[in-house]
Amino acid sequence: MDLNLTGKIVVVTGASKGIGLAITEAFVEAGAFVVAGARRSTPELQALEAAGSVAFVSADLSTPDGPAALVAAAAGRGGIDVLVNNAGAVKARFDGILSVTDEQWESALALNFLSAVRTTRAAIPHILARGGGSIVMTGSVNAVLPEWNIVDYSAGKAALASYALSLSKEFGPQGIRVNSIAPGPVSTSLWLGDDGIAAQVASANGISPDDAVASAASGASTGRFTTPQQVADLVVFLASDRSGNTTGSTVRIDGGYVPTI
């Protein structure tokens, strides 16, 4: 399928590893140029830069100024056609919801919600200047399946889904489509890294990280985690004009993890 993405300029946040790196690679494969934001680059991203398909911008997207710096770098390359708000992180908190401090709430919401608000606010004038385009948010099943031990992350992802739908209503008439994806567990360092969710759950419950992974996987009808590549394929499709009348949608990619309609 030709996705008509050749020559498009795409901004991807959280592009250095995991889902964001797979999204970056998928856009490059489709012929787009990616302006890739994260705090630190990686060998994989450096290889794409060396090939001329990617420009890495070092930015802390949880700060007020980080998103604007990333968008300015993309604008300097000619404009923006697609924005993927993907940066995010989760820290499990096992001392109960009442123990979550203001600082922890603010930190979680700054990265998982406000970074997308700020990046989108800076990017939309550039997308409009190109005659329209597409925005995709990396949400989570935790927007509709909130958990007590990731209360701040769950609330941030719910806010992100709401924000995306509001955006789709205002900017649909001007040619910008806005959609979200809602992954269940995905095989990245967020889950599987040394300090990932599996390790945190294992330590809190006196089980092994492998058992924590097996337990999460068993919650999916397919019995397995989603791969970053599978998420990336969905994002690229939603971003492309092959999904031309899809807007305001949240598409689950969770192996059947969410058990409701």
List residues with catalytic annotation.
Answer: 153
State yes or no: residue 17 binds ligand NAP (CB under 6 A). Answer: yes
Q: Which of 5, 10, 11, 14 binds ligand NAP (CB under 6 A)?
A: 14
Smallest gap from Cβ 11 to ligand NAP, in A, equals 12
State yes or no: residue 16 binds ligand NAP (CB under 6 A). Answer: yes
How many whole angstroms separate alpha carbon 201 and alpha carbon 138? 23
> Between residue 73 and residue 132, which ones bind ligand NAP under the rule CB under 6 A?
86-89, 111
258 and 185 Cβ atoms separated by less than 8 Å: no
Smallest gap from Cβ 197 to ligand NAP, in A, equals 7
Shorter beta-carbon distance to ligand NAP: residue 133 or 156: 156
State yes or no: residue 39 binds ligand NAP (CB under 6 A). Answer: yes
Task: Specify the length of the chain in residues.
Answer: 261
Shorter beta-carbon distance to ligand NAP: residue 20 or 79: 20
126 and 71 Cβ atoms separated by less than 8 Å: yes
Q: Phi and psi (nearest 5°) for 222? A: -80, -20
Q: In what order do the strands lie in the sheet with 33-38?
A: 54-58, 33-38, 9-13, 82-85, 133-138, 176-183, 250-253
State yes or no: residue 190 binds ligand NAP (CB under 6 A). Answer: yes
State yes or no: residue 140 binds ligand NAP (CB under 6 A). Answer: yes
Going through 3-151 in order, the beta strands assigned E by DSSP cover 9-13, 33-38, 54-58, 82-85, 133-138
Looking up tokens 């009442």, which residue turns up? 98
Q: Which of 32, 186, 202, 213 binds ligand NAP (CB under 6 A)?
A: 186
State yes or no: residue 40 binds ligand NAP (CB under 6 A). Answer: yes
Shorter beta-carbon distance to ligand NAP: residue 33 or 191: 191
State yes or no: residue 60 binds ligand NAP (CB under 6 A). Answer: yes
SS3 182: strand
Residue 31 token pair: 């012929």
Q: Phi and psi (nearest 5°) for 227? A: -90, 155
Smallest gap from Cβ 99 to ligand NAP, in A, equals 22
Looking up tokens 């990333």, which residue turns up? 70
State yes or no: residue 18 binds ligand NAP (CB under 6 A). Answer: yes
How many whole angstroms separate alpha carbon 11 and alpha carbon 121? 13
- Give the residues lining the site for ligand NAP (CB under 6 A): 14-20, 38-40, 60-62, 86-89, 111, 138, 140, 183, 185-186, 188-191
